[in-house]
Structure 1
């Protein structure tokens, strides 16, 4: 297994903290404790401090999306099986963390303000990358470009909204219900082999 650089240790620690606590809920001391690094290393690699590190963590998350979806879709014959597997993984992670570990992007997005321009720009890039990574896989499943992009946008909205509701409710039911509604709507097309 590859040893992480100091910079990457900080990014991974921040990505983990963002998923659990969001940007406002985590302090520099916690990030340093998670990474096992001294304070000077943070400001050496990220002179802009916590916000600059958060942008790097968001960009890191974005950089993993193509690989994630390519692997996921290669493991499942039908695209909706791949999406169901992704949802189940997110729900499992949420439940195993006592509904603490949600989507790092949504957590930060909800607490950001207009003054957080760099954070919001990174989030916009990341959500766009998420939709694009998903749409690319759907296009490989013979969906038209427009269908793939529309379905990706719908699914990301469903995933983010359902995950937030599940986290607040302390129950996976909101996300499961939303996903089942989407899959039920598409089931006739799935069984006839037609695409939406």
Structure 2
């Protein structure tokens, strides 16, 4: 793993554990085991630039997992259900692999953190678009696919936020269990 990747991964973990304001550059340097000069070499604009890189890094991992789950089945319910199973298992097993609760990071960012807020927003839009495309490829009309994708995305983000805050997977398990009702109504 490169020094830059180590810095980004450490930042992502600290942002998830502590939030943006409680995470300092000195702590990132210390916990990543990298030289101070490396942090400023790769991220000369400081903490916001580093947080953006961490959001993009985690988001790409999420997108890869969504796409992997969605290639599992042409049935959108089975594909989303598989993704939810991955999220739940990830929270139970690998703390270092958990993503940043991007919605919470966006909410925590100050008005002057325009780029960080925009990055969080764009990444969440990307996730929802993948779900919408899966639904459309499965025969859903575009408006309905957009509506269902938005609902699923809202439920998952809410479940992730609650799971992160409560440090238990029950909220995500409830979301996973309820998804069948959304798809049953659409059949």
**TM-score grouping bracket, smaller chain normalisation:** 0.7 to 0.9
Contact 2:43 2:50 in 1 (8 A): yes
Aligned residue for 1:157, secondary structure, equals helix
Contact 1:94 1:102 in 2 (8 A): no
TM-score by length of 1: 0.79
Aligned residue for 2:11, secondary structure, equals helix
Per-residue deviation at 1:66? Answer: 4.3
Equivalent runs, 1:39-188 vs 2, <5 Å: 39-96=36-93, 101=98, 103-187=100-184
Match of 1:32 in 2: 29
For 1:182 and 1:71, locate their aligned partners in 2 and report how far apart those are by CA, in whole Å.
19
Per-residue deviation at 1:97? Answer: 6.3
Per-residue deviation at 1:10? Answer: 2.1
Contact 1:102 1:167 in 2 (8 A): no
Unaligned stretches of 5+ residues in structure 1: none
**CA 1:40–1:20 in structure 2 vs 1: closer, same or farther (change >3 Å)?**
same
Per-residue deviation at 1:126? Answer: 1.0
Taking only aligned residues, the RMSD between alpha carbons, in angstroms, comes to 2.6
Contact 1:102 1:164 in 2 (8 A): no
Unaligned stretches of 5+ residues in structure 2: none
Q: How many residues align?
A: 186
Contact 2:7 2:28 in 1 (8 A): yes
For 1:10 and 1:41, locate their aligned partners in 2 and report how far apart those are by CA, in whole Å.
9
For 1:51 and 1:67, locate their aligned partners in 2 and report how far apart those are by CA, in whole Å.
24
TM-score by length of 2: 0.83
Per-residue deviation at 1:57? Answer: 1.7
